[in-house]
Structure 1
Amino acid sequence: MNPDISQHEEWFAAYAARERAREHGDPAPMDLKLKHTMAVLDNARRMAESEGFAPALARACLLAALYHDVARFEQYLRYHTFRDRESCNHGLLGVKILKREARLAGEDAATRKIVLAAVGLHNRFVLPAHLPRETELAAHVVRDADKLDILRVMDEHLGGPGPYSPTVVLNLPDDPALAGQAVLRAALEGRVAAYADLRSVNDFRVLLNTWFFDMHFAASRRQFVEDGHARRLLEGLPSNAVYGPARAALLARLDGADARG
């Protein structure tokens, strides 16, 4: 059974509402982040249970999942973007907010250390080597859970009837003529693509699917395939000479993972 962190969840909901009330423009991106956070928490619960983590580690994983994007509200209020390169590192800002708000004061020292590390590291392209084992596991839980829900958000957004929100697609142009060759190479080579190499919305579709190569738990790999978000994002790509090979390779990877169960 997963630990009870309901008091933390109540604080987070109140904090998000307080920050939302300060936004005098469009609060919809902040609403998305609140929904995203709760979905990431649900994903983390499934992983922690599937992996059979000890209660203390499971609690740290859930707290890190709940607080991984606590900085997104302040980031949006300050900069009106979620692109860290154009604003601030939201993982490190999240650590500062948790300390400022004394959110982990009631937890033991080991839990505090793991949670702060996982929040601060969750948005790194790769984790540092030689992390303590429990810190590494918690960070991987958050990273997997986060990626799985970003797939949902992007599938719903790109598959919807309305125009794309510039904030949600990282202000990338929806131009079929623009293709990031480094993103396509990563997909064909079985590597995670880098945000810095994105040139278009289609590149984003590809990048999201390369995350499969960095899923660290059987439960997260299974959910990646079974949710269907990754497949729909790929099916939205053109099957032309530019995107076709990456599209086919990534679809084949999903089919292979599905066949293996």
Structure 2
Amino acid sequence: MTQEDIRFFRTWFEEYTKRFPSEDPEIEANLWYKKEHSIRVREYMLTLGHDLRLNENQMFLAEVIGLFHDVGRFEQYVRYHTFKDYQSEDHAKLGLSVLEREQVFLGRGSEQEKDLIFTAILNHNQRVVHKKVLGNTLKLCKLIRDADKLDILEQVISFYENPARTPHFAIERNHKDERYSSDIIQGILRGKQISYTSVKTPVDIKLIRLAWLLDLNYPAALDLAKRKQFLPRLFAFIPQTKDTLRVLQYIEKVIDNSQ
């Protein structure tokens, strides 16, 4: 893959995201948020990749994966008016169909590089990476999962702290409902990553996102999460009970032991 290929991918992405104008301010805002998210995730990929001392070609691949990982989100939101995969369709698979339909990789990069990029995109939103993914592909799969989580956590927490800064942001807004599911509490305490399909209350979603801190693969990603104080900032919006404090203490212990 060459620098010329990277310039082409950047230009294509910029032009593609302009295809979804809407008079609905909510749709317009969320598509813009998703575009900016993709750009920030690309930057996280480069930051984390530099820490891992990836070579030039690996950095090219990391940038493309970061930029394209959510390319399916634009059609998803316009079609279904939601970013919830379980209420619409898997946005990673939809993204791959967009890239194929648009022939984005025609004459760009090798077939092996395309397969690696597609595998990383396909695995970025799964609870776990497929067990058959190995080697350099696995490294980049883990990288996109970390970069994606870092930016989502930052944007979600920032919204909780100041909703007016990102109006129309497609996220739960109810902080008054303090119910939560005991199954999710127990799942986190057993070290499991919980599916969104298990969510029954707004607190459940916050607990799942809190547990993402247990699923960061690289020390640089965890360092960033700690510097940005994601754990205490997010926990501030979770009701403090005996159960949730156990979750907080468990996550703090795992994070401390991983350093």
TM-score between both structures, scaled by the size of structure 1:
0.87
Equivalent residue in structure 1 for 2:159, among 134, 157, 160? 157
Counterpart-to-counterpart distance in 1, 2:191 and 2:15: 41
Match for residue 113 of structure 1? 115
Structure 2 residue aligned with 1:134? 136
In the TM superposition, what whole-angstrom CA distance separates every residue of 1:31-90 from its partner, at most 9, and x where no partner exists? 110111111111100111111122222222211111000010100000000000010110
SS at match of 1:243: helix
Distance, in Å, in 2 between the alignment partners of 1:251 and 1:165 is: 32
User: Cα RMSD (Å) of the superposition?
Assistant: 2.4
Q: Which residue of 1 aligns with 2:179?
A: 178
| Alpha-carbon offset, residue 193 of structure 1 | 2.5
**Alpha carbons of structure 1 residues 188 and 178: separation in structure 2 relative to 1, 3 Å:** same
Tell me how far 1:257 sits from its aligned partner: 6.3
Match of 1:44 in 2: 45
Answer whether contact 1:81 1:167 (CA < 8 A) is retained.
yes
CA distance in 1, matches of 2:257, 2:202: 25
Q: What count of residue pairs does the alignment treat as equivalent?
A: 254
Letter paired with 2:32: D
The reply on whether 1:57 has 2:58 as its aligned counterpart is: yes
C-alpha separation in 1, matches of 2:129 and 2:163 = 37
Give the gaps of 5 or more residues in structure 1.
none
Question: 1:69 — aligned with what?
Answer: 70
Percent identity over the alignment? Answer: 22
Question: SS at the partner of 2:242?
Answer: coil
Alpha-carbon distance in structure 1 between the residues aligned to 2:138 and 2:174: 35
Q: Distance in 2 between matches of 1:110 and 1:250?
A: 38
Match of 1:236 in 2: 237
Cα–Cα, structure 1 residues 45 and 3, in superposed 2: closer, same or farther, change >3 Å? farther
Distance across 2 between alignment mates of 1:257 and 1:10: 43
Structure 2 unaligned regions, length at least 5: none
SS of structure 1 residue aligned to 2:132: coil
Where do residues 1-261 of structure 1 align in structure 2 (5 Å cutoff)?
A: 5-19=6-20, 21-22=21-22, 24=24, 26=26, 27-105=28-106, 106-162=108-164, 167-169=170-172, 174-253=175-254, 256=256, 260=259
Partners of 1:236 and 1:249 in 2: CA distance: 18
Moved more, 67-76 or 216-225: 216-225
Shift of 1:181: 1.6
The 1-side partners of 2:249 and 2:49 are apart by: 33
Question: What is the CA-CA distance between 1:217 and the residue it aligns to?
Answer: 1.1
Between 1:52-61 and 1:143-152, the stretch displaced more is: 52-61
Q: What SS does the aligned partner of 1:238 have?
A: coil
For residues 185 and 83 of structure 2, the distance between their equivalents in structure 1, rounded to whole angstroms, comes to: 24
TM-score norm. by structure 2 comes to 0.88
